[in-house]
Amino acid sequence: MVTRAGRSSVGCLFSLLILAAAIYFGVNFGEVYWRFYEFQDAMKQEVRFAKQIPDERIRLRLAALADSLGLPDEASEVTIERNASTITVQAQYTERIDVPLVRRDIRFRPRAQGTF
């Protein structure tokens, strides 16, 4: 009978190491995308009630939210296009993700559109 006492624990340790590395690097990416979705959700909320709210007030609210989320300054430059029946709110910004050996710039373009 052959025993493999040490072999199974090393395999488990290696699997845990891979899982920990994936979580560590995934948190950086996840945090950036989470902020994007929060900002875009706020844009959609503003579009829902845009009929009663002036454009400048929408801009100020979204700029304040971008600041509180820690987004780059360029995210505060919100563009609002309104006509008789539709409104479009959009912005664009770049986030940098730094992980060991990799530096990546990701361009985000949150956008919301609605009708009156």
Spatial separation of the C-alpha atoms in residues 56 and 73, rounded to whole Å: 17
What average pLDDT is seen over the chain? 90
pLDDT value for 25: 79
Reported as a single tens digit per residue, the pLDDT across 19-31 is 988 888 788 889 9
Domain boundary assignment for the chain: 5-115
